[in-house]
Amino acid sequence: MNKRDTMITFTAIALSCVLAGCGENNTLTTQIEPSDPQFADQVFSNAAIYTVAKSKPWAQAMAVKDGEIVYLGDDKGAQSYIGKKTNVYDLGGKMVLPGLHDVHIHPLESASDATHFTAAQYDTIDGYQDALNQVASENPDAAWLIGYGHNIDTLLDLDISPKALIDEVIPDRPVIIMEQTSHSMWVNSKALSLANIHASSRDPIGGVIGRNNAGELNGILYDNAGNIAMDLAMQSLGDEQSQNYNGFVEYTQPMLLSHGITSISDARVYWQRDQLDTWQKLQADGVLKMRVSLGLWAYPEASDESQIRALKSFYNTAPNSLLKVDQIKFYMDGILVNTTAAMKEPYKVDWLKLDGNRGVNYFTQARLEKYIKALEPSGFDFNIHAIGDRGIHEALNAIEAASKGAARHRLTHVEVVDPEDYKRFSALSVIADAQVAGEFTQPHHWQEMQPLLGRERADHLVPIKSLSENGAMLTLSSDWNVSTLNPFIGIANAITRQPEAISLEQAIAAYTINAAYAMRQEDIVGSLEVGKLADFIVLDQNLFNISFEEIKATKVTQTWIHGNQAF
């Protein structure tokens, strides 16, 4: 076949594809003739390649040139792409998947050395106080002592005020300890004083100042009340940026790549604490190896006008950059376990003495509408924390009222969803983002919420099957380090959590093509198709041939990004 005949044949094939209405997954794969001297850089053969593309879900071999997939098919067809300089990888029948995405993760916070200690779960006052004594002696020069990891239930069961527990050991330096969910902070009297929080203080927007029955401060700051105090503590460090930077480069990024995660969304970028600058430095220094979208934190106590101006100025989706600044992280409410998630009906217990006892709003529906109207035209998509049925309902209302319909907003967590709102996700093109990797999300733990919610509302928590059956696009993510970042634990849990289980195919799509859509990159990654970039992973076992317990133990043997081996 001469060159002219080749061009005529290729044009005819392409035209027939157009006339037949080929969809985005029906990619024309015969774009390099066997006689073409343009050989591939890499050929991967003898593999079980699950492409996630509906038109061609499985392949045996893949050829990559200049970081782009140029062939998917059988081993025989791949031979024509092999030249003298082609690197050929015989994968020995191993499974290949598109690179996985985690669209809700805290990669800077979770690995930073900015915290001085981890607060273990002690059963006694002495256990906590011994640990605090040790922390104080090991960090004599720290202006604030910053910790992480306590369990608020255990703490409140002790026969002492949480504030007094610390005060007895460390009265002269501020101490702040983030609870493992990040939705409360445990502080001493010195920290309260520096944060200007006293007995007559009013609760801040989206937060609650903890008190005992006599109205005295007990040392627990819920939700945004705790965030305000933590901002002060972090400012005292002076070098939070270097600690976040080093933690990501030395720990987080290698661990993500070793688990096959090639794209992430930072779900809470505290830009007033220089976290945006940290990400930009990672990109500028050339140490960023994965694709990242940033969710800029919307501060509840900020002036809307000045904050909107600032957020608009940060938007950046430079072509060919691994880093995109294109999402806004919004909180509608708190969490269930401390009764701050926004509920339609009152909680069964009244711990915080809130008006109506239906949780808190970081932002009202009207304020969310204002931000969507202002920021959506700039290109921003909203990643909206919504856990309670009222918070979810109000977020959907705001999107319905304010969005022009072209955005890719998503509600994350979606723990208690009113069945009347199931269909609204699809109708409004809102993505449902859920986290099921944590054991606490499994159905046998649902009953633990009955004392707070009652039997009916505590049932079907995180209803991923119900949402999917009603047409919602589903993504699965980790919220690391609230839950493990291991996506294979998330996949295994997703397919076994009856009556809210989904299929293996759906779970994989939630971590790949659906998540790529949420990050606005489904045209280049998220599935393995000719013309897309070679972001893919190699597994030690085929997920379709093993039990869910074996899926949890799956290991990634290779991770490739844009045709380069990253792990």
Q: What is the DSSP string of 38-104?
A: ---SEEEES-EEE---TT--EESEEEEETTEEEEEE-HHHHGGG--TT-EEEE-TT-EEEEPEEEEE
Give the pLDDT of residue 181. Answer: 81
Treating both helix axes as pointing N-terminal to C-terminal, what angle do 389-402 and 365-375 enclose, rounded to 10 degrees? 40
Give the pLDDT of residue 182. Answer: 82
Distances in Å between the Cα of 205 and the Cα atoms of 77, 225, 301 are 62, 8, 6
User: pLDDT in tens for each of the 567 residues of the chain?
Assistant: 433 343 333 333 333 333 333 333 333 333 344 445 589 999 999 999 999 999 999 999 999 999 999 999 999 999 999 999 999 999 999 999 999 999 999 999 877 666 677 776 777 899 899 989 999 999 998 899 998 888 888 888 888 999 999 999 999 999 999 887 889 999 999 999 999 999 999 999 999 999 998 889 999 999 999 999 999 998 887 778 888 999 999 999 999 999 999 999 999 999 999 999 999 999 999 999 999 999 999 999 999 999 999 999 999 999 989 999 999 999 999 999 999 999 999 999 999 999 999 999 999 999 999 999 999 999 999 999 999 999 999 999 999 999 999 999 999 999 999 999 999 999 999 999 999 999 999 999 999 999 999 999 999 999 999 999 999 999 999 999 889 999 999 999 999 999 999 999 999 999 999 999 999 999 999 999 999 999 999 999 999 999 999 999 999 999 999 999 999
Both tokens assigned to 406? 């072209």
Give the pLDDT of residue 157. Answer: 85
CA distance 173 to 187: 11
46 by Cβ neighbours in 10 Å (0-12 / 13-18 / 19+) ranks as middle
Amino acid in position 283: Q
Give the pLDDT of residue 18. Answer: 31
What's the whole-model pTM score?
0.90
**Cβ atoms of residues 504 and 561 within 8 Å:** no
The DSSP call for residue 547 is -
